[in-house]
């Protein structure tokens, strides 16, 4: 029995007391878990979806032929969506007559998305059929950035790149090779490729995205992401708009709603009345950057009211270490721990939090009590939002996790687990050893605690003469447009001494590809192989993205050797590209690279894509038995169903996993803190006389007190803290028209770059006006549609005003998705979404962009391109932002101090100005805020901190000669 909505009569009867109110506020336990439907219920749900036995020949009426009843036969092949990080299941419907993909629907066999998708999933069909897509490899003609291109073969592209990489490796210039990724969308593949080349060459977008929050979580428990168990929660707290556009968007959204249907209460902290806030029981419109003050006030209430989980705090936080370090005069007792915390946070009264944030003290108190009462069933999320926007934004995640610790909800059912507990990690063939290189262009010594590569600083580090990129790949990555300070990127791309060979691996034209030497078309969701696994709920799954036309050809007895043979034009996929490139870098095997890319079954031969994935799939727990039952190999099973559920949702409290007897052999126990070590490595901790694995922190517990922060020169942040943001009210001069701009919010229908070629999505969302409260608009005399000049630290952009009650007074906001552009000389690309602009660099470093024309209808094979009715392509705001790297986490802090004014008579909508000399000065100002390595023992980074593509441990120590 699931939840039954009350009928109209029941509602009335309950309200007037004729029958008991069974639907009243409060949590209602289901007698059947929503996530574990009965077999009958599942069968009923799937009834509406074609059953797998009919996937090779599915017949349905053609909706376009309506009202005639015309039958169409399809072959249905599963894959996964590539339009955000959730990798929801899709099924491609291939017309058996034309052999073309006609539409995408959900895949009910995908445990994360369970057959459902957001608008961006089915819109994959637009991306496939976009008349502007890149179908063949291209090489630039003329100077870089001039917009002239010629078609080349894949062989020419591979030979050009491999020769250059080989030369760099032979000359020991490993750090001049980099692969810079925007949307990875895959598990494990590049961890295999780049260490095999021996380079520390991976750069990512994470420091403009999530590393702030990751840092805050990591300090606590050695895991860097949360996995909230929304469906089982009693109270859900979201910092920002996770219901409509957050991380793992659709899978999380459906589970948040399930939680709510069962009676969970939802609170959202966000200065915007987002769709998420509007669905919430509590909206806390906080002033940006003050979230940690609110969270600490809640923590204080939970402590003072005695609503904390004593058992959890006593066993699973390092309170003894805290008391000894910070309160040496006190006896080490649990009572003193609680008293010391209350003392430590005494200033964080709800009234103080209200003063800082604008959120009413009574609401803060009410929510704190509800969180305390929810206990272990408190789920929360803070991903990009506040963590990605403020100086000290990482402290927001740290304070949020403080509530999770106080309630004992860490890893609990209905609580918030570490992401890694719900994520599958593939085991690849011929695993290479970690590289023995450390690339200081990605991890400079000024940022020893930076959680990911300082990718937003790359152009400034190049400008400062700290190195060069001889071979640079941008992969589904568009820093000229998505990053702050895009003109500095442009300047560096135009300088061939800074960026040598720039290869853009991309499914679509973008503002960065215009400045590449080679543009290589890579497949969309249904045109490539990848494996995906994400922490969408309290279970673990693996999904398979596959090129559906290739798979159809295989099933129909016409197999191809390479994916580009089946895809449109010569669109390829990265997996095969990297294998091929690796062989060409080391054609005779003498460099020790080729061996990693040889077949595990036929030594000396090149590994095939089937062999690579079969190797991984046959090692997934449970999959071999299930595949065997179907009479399939593991690879065939995944091509047929597209996903496999590894574990249904018992992955709670994994920190309590007992150490096995063989693990305990030869171990030592630290008498002071109970940490168990073996061969110099910590492997567990003693809790109540039991040896368990604990968390991967120095204390193996949640670290309320961080000795790491003390050791790395930040003692003032030894415990969870509120850090005033760079856009705190104190630093704004309201008399000069200074406001805080929230430039980060996502629209649920768009992706950063790749929705520019999806007509349905652009039709829905195509402008990014400045959200402004009526009181602020009245102050300025603005009405909706008026032009507004937004002055940033390095320039300005001119946008339009949208007057709305949905914005907190004193704060303005602008969506970061829109404002795509191309110059007249550029190849036609994304014409559904791009303005045509003029760009000038009149004086050295003084860049001006103006809009020549908006979006227009155009002729193409797609009749809809003549029907475009929208004209306004919005404004590119990010390019006017300076880099603001948090000195600790390294996260770019997106919120901007802006000076609002009315534009002059000569100024127009879409005008942009930036002075890159100023932006380089600001880079230096923020660099001066750091406290550089070395840390203890000459380390450049704490050994216990994770690092993406972690190099050999020897590289963590700064070379002594270098210091002298
Ligand atoms: S949430 Fe939407 S865009 Fe993201 S993977 Fe799922 S269907 Fe695709």
Q: State whether the beta carbon of 120 lies less than 6 angstroms from ligand 1.
A: yes
**Phi then psi dihedrals of residue 662, to 5 deg:** -70, -30
The sheet with strand 518-521 has its strands ordered as 148-151, 138-141, 518-521, 499-506, 469-475, 177-181, 202-203
| Residue 546's pLDDT band (cuts 50, 70, 90) | very high
Minimum-distance ligand 1 atom for the alpha carbon of 249: 1
Residue 211 vs residue 185, higher pLDDT: 211
How many whole angstroms from 92 Cα to the centroid of ligand 1? 15
**Mean residue pLDDT across the chain:** 94
How many whole angstroms from 666 Cα to the centroid of ligand 1? 48
Helix/strand/coil (H/E/C) assignment for every residue in 460-480: HHHHCCCCCEEEEEEECCCHH
Q: State whether the beta carbon of 253 lies less than 6 angstroms from ligand 1.
A: no
Q: State whether the beta carbon of 402 lies less than 6 angstroms from ligand 1.
A: no
Q: What is the mean pLDDT of the segment spanning 634-651?
A: 93
Among 91, 116, 249, 533, say which to mutate for ligand 1: greatest number of ligand atoms within 8 Å of CB: 249
Q: Where is average pLDDT lowest: 30-44, 297-311, 525-539?
A: 30-44
**Phi then psi dihedrals of residue 927, to 5 deg:** -65, -35
Tell me, what's the pLDDT at 16? 65
Q: State whether the beta carbon of 607 lies less than 6 angstroms from ligand 1.
A: no
Q: What is the mean pLDDT of the segment spanning 214-219?
A: 97
DSSP-H helix ranges across 151-235:
154-170, 189-197, 211-221
- Residue with CA nearest ligand 1 atom 1: 250
- Residue with CA nearest ligand 1 atom 4: 84
Residue with tokens 């800082």: 356
How many whole angstroms from 960 Cα to the centroid of ligand 1? 48
- Distance CA(123)–CA(119), nearest Å, equals 6
Per-residue pLDDT at 726 exceeds 90: yes
Residue 12 vs residue 634, higher pLDDT: 634
- Is cis: bond before 948, omega within 30 of 0? no
Q: State whether the beta carbon of 84 lies less than 6 angstroms from ligand 1.
A: yes
pLDDT tens, position by position, 46-99: 567 899 999 999 999 998 898 999 999 999 999 999 999 899 999 999 999 999
- Residue with CA nearest ligand 1 atom 2: 118
Per-residue pLDDT at 961 exceeds 60: no
How many whole angstroms from 208 Cα to the centroid of ligand 1? 21
Minimum-distance ligand 1 atom for the alpha carbon of 87: 5
How many whole angstroms from 254 Cα to the centroid of ligand 1? 12
Please, what's the b/e burial string for 259-285 (b: 16 or more CB within 10 A of its CB; e: otherwise)? bbebbbbbbbbbbbbbbbbebbebbbb
Percent of the chain with pLDDT over 90: 88
How many whole angstroms from 87 Cα to the centroid of ligand 1? 6
Q: What is the mean pLDDT of the segment spanning 259-288?
A: 96
Q: Is residue 300 exposed (0-12), middle (13-18) or buried (19+ Cβ within 10 Å)?
A: buried
Minimum-distance ligand 1 atom for the alpha carbon of 84: 4
Q: State whether the beta carbon of 720 lies less than 6 angstroms from ligand 1.
A: no
Q: State whether the beta carbon of 175 lies less than 6 angstroms from ligand 1.
A: no
Q: State whether the beta carbon of 117 lies less than 6 angstroms from ligand 1.
A: yes
Percent of the chain with pLDDT over 70: 95
pLDDT tens, position by position, 390-404: 999 999 999 999 999
How many whole angstroms from 569 Cα to the centroid of ligand 1? 26
pLDDT tens, position by position, 833-849: 999 999 999 889 999 99
How many whole angstroms from 81 Cα to the centroid of ligand 1? 6
Structure tokens at 226: 């949360």
Tell me, what's the pLDDT at 3? 43
Tell me, what's the pLDDT at 32? 43
How many whole angstroms from 186 Cα to the centroid of ligand 1? 15
Q: How many CB atoms lie within 10 A of CB 10?
A: 16
> CB–CB of 910/513 below 8 Å?
no
How many whole angstroms from 808 Cα to the centroid of ligand 1? 29
- Residue with CA nearest ligand 1 atom 6: 88
Tell me, what's the pLDDT at 902? 97
Of residues 745, 754, 256, the one with CA closest to residue 513: 754
Q: State whether the beta carbon of 525 lies less than 6 angstroms from ligand 1.
A: no
Q: State whether the beta carbon of 165 lies less than 6 angstroms from ligand 1.
A: no
Tell me, what's the pLDDT at 34? 41
Q: State whether the beta carbon of 249 lies less than 6 angstroms from ligand 1.
A: yes
Q: State whether the beta carbon of 747 lies less than 6 angstroms from ligand 1.
A: no
Q: State whether the beta carbon of 83 lies less than 6 angstroms from ligand 1.
A: yes
Q: What is the mean pLDDT of the segment spanning 797-824?
A: 96
| Residue 19's pLDDT band (cuts 50, 70, 90) | low
How many whole angstroms from 807 Cα to the centroid of ligand 1? 27
Q: What is the mean pLDDT of the segment spanning 366-384?
A: 95
Per-residue pLDDT at 519 exceeds 90: yes
Q: Residue 328: CB partners within 8 Å, gap ≥ 6? A: none
| Residue 963's pLDDT band (cuts 50, 70, 90) | very low
Q: How many CB atoms lie within 10 A of CB 760?
A: 16
Q: State whether the beta carbon of 81 lies less than 6 angstroms from ligand 1.
A: yes
Minimum-distance ligand 1 atom for the alpha carbon of 751: 3
Among 78, 79, 87, 88, say which to mutate for ligand 1: greatest number of ligand atoms within 8 Å of CB: 88
- Is cis: bond before 67, omega within 30 of 0? yes
Q: 3-state class of 738 per DSSP?
A: strand
Q: State whether the beta carbon of 121 lies less than 6 angstroms from ligand 1.
A: yes
Tell me, what's the pLDDT at 931? 98
Minimum-distance ligand 1 atom for the alpha carbon of 90: 7
Q: What is the mean pLDDT of the segment spanning 770-780?
A: 97
Residue 21 vs residue 679, higher pLDDT: 679
Of residues 636, 506, 516, the one with CA closest to residue 573: 506
Q: Where is average pLDDT lowest: 111-120, 463-472, 745-754?
A: 745-754
Minimum-distance ligand 1 atom for the alpha carbon of 253: 1
Tell me, what's the pLDDT at 959? 76
Minimum-distance ligand 1 atom for the alpha carbon of 117: 7
Q: What is the mean pLDDT of the segment spanning 887-914?
A: 97
- Distance CA(835)–CA(874), nearest Å, equals 8
Q: Is residue 178 exposed (0-12), middle (13-18) or buried (19+ Cβ within 10 Å)?
A: buried
Of residues 27, 778, 641, 781, the one with CA closest to residue 373: 27
> CB–CB of 214/225 below 8 Å?
yes
- Distance CA(936)–CA(107), nearest Å, equals 51
Among 78, 111, 112, 118, say which to mutate for ligand 1: greatest number of ligand atoms within 8 Å of CB: 118
Minimum-distance ligand 1 atom for the alpha carbon of 106: 7
How many whole angstroms from 91 Cα to the centroid of ligand 1? 13
């Amino acid at each position: 029995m699931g939840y039954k909505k009350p009928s109209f009569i029941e509602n009335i009867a309950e309200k007037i007391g004729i029958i008991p109110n069974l639907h009243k506020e409060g949590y209602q336990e289901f007698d059947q878990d929503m996530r574990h439907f009965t077999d009958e219920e599942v069968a009923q749900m799937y009834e509406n979806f074609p059953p797998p036995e009919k996937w090779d020949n599915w017949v349905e009426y053609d909706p376009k032929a309506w009202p005639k009843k015309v039958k169409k036969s399809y072959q249905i092949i599963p894959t996964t969506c590539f339009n955000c990080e959730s990798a929801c299941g899709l099924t491609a419907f291939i017309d058996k007559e034309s052999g073309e993909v006609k539409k995408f629907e959900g895949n009910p066999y995908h445990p994360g998305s369970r057959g459902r998708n957001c608008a961006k999933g089915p819109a994959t069909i637009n991306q496939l059929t976009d008349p502007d897509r890149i179908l063949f490899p291209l090489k630039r003609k003329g100077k870089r950035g001039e917009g002239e291109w010629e078609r080349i073969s894949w062989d020419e592209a591979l030979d050009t790149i491999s020769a250059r990489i080989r030369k760099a490796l032979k000359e020991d210039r490993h750090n001049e090779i980099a692969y810079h990724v925007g949307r990875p969308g895959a598990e494990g593949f590049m961890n295999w490729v780049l260490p095999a080349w021996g380079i520390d060459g991976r750069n990512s977008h994470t420091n403009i995205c999530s590393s702030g929050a990751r840092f805050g979580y990591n300090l606590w428990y050695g895991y860097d992401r949360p996995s909230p168990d929304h469906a089982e929660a009693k109270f859900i707290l979201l910092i920002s708009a996770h219901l409509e556009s957050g991380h793992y968007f659709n899978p999380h959204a459906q589970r948040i709603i399930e939680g709510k249907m069962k009676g969970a209460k939802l609170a959202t902290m966000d200065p915007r009345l987002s769709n998420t806030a509007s669905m919430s029981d509590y909206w806390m419109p906080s002033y940006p950057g003050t979230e940690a003050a609110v969270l600490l006030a809640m923590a204080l209430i939970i402590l003072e009211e005695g609503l904390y989980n004593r058992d959890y705090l006593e066993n699973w936080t390092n309170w003894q270490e805290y008391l000894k370090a910070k309160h040496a005069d006190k006896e080490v007792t649990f009572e003193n721990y609680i008293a010391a915390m209350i003392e430590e946070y005494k200033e964080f009264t709800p009234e103080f939090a209200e003063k800082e944030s604008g959120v009413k003290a009574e609401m803060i108190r009410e929510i704190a009590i509800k969180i305390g009462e929810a206990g272990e069933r408190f789920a929360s999320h803070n991903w990009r939002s506040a963590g990605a926007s403020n100086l000290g934004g990482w402290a927001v995640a740290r304070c949020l996790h403080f509530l999770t610790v106080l309630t004992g909800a860490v890893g609990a059912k209905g609580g918030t687990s570490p992401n890694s507990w719900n994520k599958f990690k593939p085991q690849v063939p011929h695993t290479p050893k970690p590289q023995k290189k450390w690339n200081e262009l990605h991890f400079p010594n000024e940022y020893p605690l930076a959680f990911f590569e300082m990718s937003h600083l790359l152009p400034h580090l190049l400008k400062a003469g700290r190195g060069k990129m001889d071979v640079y790949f941008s992969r589904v990555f568009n820093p000229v447009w998505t990053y702050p300070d895009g003109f500095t990127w442009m300047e560096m791309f135009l300088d061939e001494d800074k960026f040598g060979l720039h290869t853009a691996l991309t499914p679509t034209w973008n503002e960065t590809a215009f400045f590449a030497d080679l543009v290589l078309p890579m497949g969309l969701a249904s045109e490539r192989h990848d494996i995906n696994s994400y922490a969408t709920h309290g279970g673990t799954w693996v999904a398979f993205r596959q090129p559906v036309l290739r798979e159809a050809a295989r099933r129909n007895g016409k197999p191809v050797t390479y994916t580009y043979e089946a895809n449109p034009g010569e669109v390829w996929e990265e997996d095969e590209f990297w294998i091929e490139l690796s062989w060409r870098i080391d054609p005779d095997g003498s460099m020790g690279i080729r061996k990693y890319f040889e077949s595990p079954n036929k030594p000396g031969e090149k590994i095939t894509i089937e062999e690579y994935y079969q190797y991984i799939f046959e090692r997934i727990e449970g999959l071999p038995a299930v595949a065997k039952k179907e009479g399939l190999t593991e690879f065939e099973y995944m091509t047929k169903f597209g996903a496999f559920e590894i574990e249904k949702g018992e992955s709670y409290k994994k920190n309590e996993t007992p150490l096995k007897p063989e693990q305990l052999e030869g171990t030592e126990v630290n008498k002071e803190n109970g940490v168990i070590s073996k061969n110099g490595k910590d492997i567990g901790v003693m809790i109540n006389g039991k040896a368990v694995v604990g968390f991967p922190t120095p204390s193996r517990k949640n670290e309320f007190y961080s000795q790491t922060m003390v050791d790395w020169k930040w003692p003032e942040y030894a415990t969870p803290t509120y850090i005033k943001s760079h856009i705190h009210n104190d630093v704004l001069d309201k008399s000069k028209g200074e406001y805080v701009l929230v430039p980060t919010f996502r629209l649920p229908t768009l992706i950063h770059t790749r929705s520019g070629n999806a007509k349905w999505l652009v039709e829905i969302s195509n402008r990014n006006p400045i959200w402004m409260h009526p009181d602020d608009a009245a102050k300025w005399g603005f009405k909706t549609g008026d032009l507004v000049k937004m002055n940033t630290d390095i320039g300005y952009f001119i946008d339009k005003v949208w007057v709305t009650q949905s914005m907190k007074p004193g704060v303005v906001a602008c969506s970061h998705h829109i404002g795509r552009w191309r110059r007249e000389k550029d190849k036609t690309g994304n014409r559904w979404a791009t303005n045509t602009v003029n760009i000038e660099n009149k004086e050295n470093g003084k860049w001006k962009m103006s809009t020549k024309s908006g979006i227009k209808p155009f002729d193409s094979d797609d009749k809809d391109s003549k029907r475009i009715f929208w004209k306004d392509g919005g404004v590119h705001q990010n390019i006017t932002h300076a880099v603001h790297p948090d000195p600790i986490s390294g996260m770019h802090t997106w919120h901007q101090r802006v000076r609002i004014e009315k534009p002059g008579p000569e100024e127009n909508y879409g005008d942009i100005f930036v002075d890159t000399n100023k932006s380089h000065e600001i880079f230096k100002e923020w660099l001066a805020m750091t406290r550089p390595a070395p840390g203890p023992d000459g380390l450049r980074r704490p050994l216990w901190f994770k690092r993406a593509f972690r190099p050999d441990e020897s590289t963590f120590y700064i070379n002594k000669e270098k210091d002298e």
